[in-house]
Amino acid sequence: MHRFLFDPADESGKEFFLSEEESRHIVKVLRLKPSTMVELFDGRGSVYRGEILELGRRVRVRCGPILPPLDSQRVEKPVWVAQGVLKGRKMDTLVQKCTELGAGHIIPVASARSQGRADTKQDNKRRQRWQRISLAACKQCKRAAVPLVEKTLSFSEMVRLVETEGNRDQLKLLFWEEEKERGLKDLQNLEQAGSVVIFLGPEGGISEEEVALARERGWLTVGLGCRILRAETATLAALSIIQHYLGNM
């Protein structure tokens, strides 16, 4: 059954009007017909069964009984992913796969060794594209809550954001290629953590200044063993392992 995002503000009794973008997908791409049953989700955890009533620029849907969200059958421990911005379309793939793996918050970071120049207009366009990619991944893998993709931050801004919006029992992990003494298996408190935030650098790695700042602010440096991984592979490997340790997979 196809799933579509809706805004609860558009509710009228037990009927919802879908956005123009979702409506265009229904009418032009999927070519669904009135009386077709669909699933509706608000991006924050609620899922509904619906029936298409009327096609048009904004499709009208009747709302049926509430469905239990597939990813709310158990309470998951939140995992945030902060990622040094990667080149080209690698970030698109990374956002998609992190969404599929259950990341709750994705923070692109223009770190010291990220390539390319800062461009606010371009950053806004990229953020919008990444948020759309995350939404599409949620529809495909039946996630009821869409992770927030932050605007691109500097490394120090990311550290401050985590401090102000994270919770007290959040474990902060900085994956660093020069860390040879401590891996994930050495973290005694990983399984007990209430939430985890991870940072992995871009293709050029992480600077010593960034490592020093993170350590000062309570981050632990960890390594991924002897294998040399591409930047995007390292992030997905780290996220998958942590989700397993936390009981989220």
Number of compact structural domains in the chain: 2
Q: Is residue 152 part of a domain?
A: yes
What tens digit of pLDDT does each residue of 148-165 get? 999 999 999 999 999 998
Is the predicted pLDDT of residue 72 greater than 80, yes or no? no
For residue 123 the two structure tokens come to 């950053």
Q: Is residue 72 part of a domain?
A: no
Compute CA distances 118 → 31, 89, 124, 130, 208, whole Å: 41, 17, 11, 17, 21
Same domain? For 53 and 103 the reply is no
Residue 99 to residue 88: CA distance in whole angstroms = 19
Q: What residue has token string 């923070």?
A: 107
Residue 243 to residue 249: CA distance in whole angstroms = 6
Quick one: DSSP state of residue 29? I
For residue 1, the model assigns a pLDDT of 83
For residue 118, the model assigns a pLDDT of 60
Same domain? For 133 and 191 the reply is yes
The CATH number given to whatever domain includes residue 15 is 2.40.240.20
What tens digit of pLDDT does each residue of 30-61 get? 999 998 998 888 887 778 888 899 999 999 89
Same domain? For 43 and 120 the reply is no
Strands annotated E in 42-155: 47-54, 60-67, 79-84, 105-110, 148-149, 153-154
Same domain? For 22 and 137 the reply is no
Selected residue with higher pLDDT from 144 and 127 = 127
By residue range, what is the domain housing residue 181? 79-245
The CATH number given to whatever domain includes residue 147 is 3.40.1280.10
Same domain? For 129 and 233 the reply is yes
Same domain? For 57 and 103 the reply is no
Q: Is residue 73 part of a domain?
A: no
What tens digit of pLDDT does each residue of 119-132 get? 677 888 999 999 99
For residue 89, the model assigns a pLDDT of 92
